[in-house]
Amino acid sequence: MNFYGLLGETLGHSFSPRLHKLIYQKTKVDAAYKLFPFPPKELQQAMDGIRTLSIEGVNVTIPYKEAVLPYLDEVDSFAKKLGAVNTIKNINGKLIGYNTDYNGFGLILNRRNWDVNGKVAVILGSGGAAKTVEAYLVDHGIRQIYIVTRSPERFEHTENKTYVNYEEVQSLCGDYLINTTPIGMYPDCKSTPVNEKTIQNFDYIIDLIYNPTETALLKLGSKNSKQTANGLDMLVGQAVRAVEIWQESSIDEEIIEQLIFEWGEQQEDSL
């Protein structure tokens, strides 16, 4: 049996073990998946533990997607470009970092036939997930990106990328509003990163949070007749790609659709 897991600081909300169990069942992989929560000061020990315990691979979530980089033996060129890792493969003690969030974010848009070419997007947050979303949008023809951060002065503006603070975002308008921050995540379900007035300035509201399935941000989006999407498709998409990396295999699109459908049913049954 192969052993995999998830590294993060607070993981009580995570659906990853159940999702990976479903993927393993669908793909007939003999594997187990565990949660490995720990505080930031223990990151070195955690990375050593992967090697010592011969854990074949792990996913990485908040707040370690960027912090793990110095502890890896090798980083895939794409993950290096993004400056963030969410998947690690252990090959005989050699830890190699990858980023599969790009595939997952693309799944959100592709399954809804949402086009970003020539559009304007506002990304809430400037961490690892935001960098991945930015890369996908740029690769698919976005016209202008505004990235909202508490300290925009730390970043360099470009012709089609501008950094702003949370006060300035209230005066922006565009096509896509994308939340990459943990604001609104379980158990803090009543919080939103921006107010309702800001939401009214956009057509599509995407929240990468998947628990709860409808965040306060998305509820406000629906209330204002906006098209909305949560992070469940991204969760499935990035997990599928991680399994493909670990197993050195390819999972059919038909199986991915089955996973999304059955995962959705499981979430409804648990309500």
pLDDT digits (tens, 9 = 90+) for 170-213: 999 999 999 999 999 988 899 999 999 999 999 999 999 988 88
Distance between CA atoms of residues 207 and 182, nearest Å: 9
Q: Are 33 and 57 in contact (CB under 8 A)?
A: no
Let me know: does 72 contact 88? Beta carbons within 8 Å: yes
pLDDT (tens digit, 9 = 90+) per residue, 64-88?
999 999 999 999 998 998 888 999 9
User: Is residue 198 located within the same domain as residue 112?
Assistant: yes
pTM of the full structure: 0.83
Q: Is 21 a catalytic residue?
A: no
pLDDT of 106-133, one tens digit each? Answer: 999 999 999 999 999 999 999 878 989 9
**237: nearest Cα among 102, 71, 138, 132:** 102
Angle at 118 between CA 114 and CA 123, to 5 degrees: 70
Q: How far apart are CA 179 and CA 26, in angstroms?
A: 31
Same domain, 237 and 213: no
Q: Are residues 38 and 93 in the same domain?
A: yes
Choose, from 28, 65, 94, 226, the residue flagged as catalytic: 65
The closest alpha carbon to 85, from 93, 149, 94, 95, belongs to 95
CATH code of residue 119: 3.40.50.720
DSSP state of 180: -
Q: Do 110 and 82 sit in the same domain of this protein?
A: no
Q: What CATH number has the domain bearing residue 16?
A: 3.40.50.10860
Asked whether the beta carbons of 123 and 130 are under 8 A apart, the reply is yes
Please work out, in degrees rounded to the nearest 5, the angle formed at the alpha carbon of residue 184 by the alpha carbons of 154 and 14: 100
Instruction: Tell me: do 244 and 221 sit in the same domain.
Output: no
Residue 29: which domain range?
2-99+233-270
- Kindly state whether residues 121 and 218 are assigned to the same domain: yes
Q: Within this chain, do residues 246 and 226 fall inside the same structural domain, yes or no?
A: no
117/202 same-domain check: yes
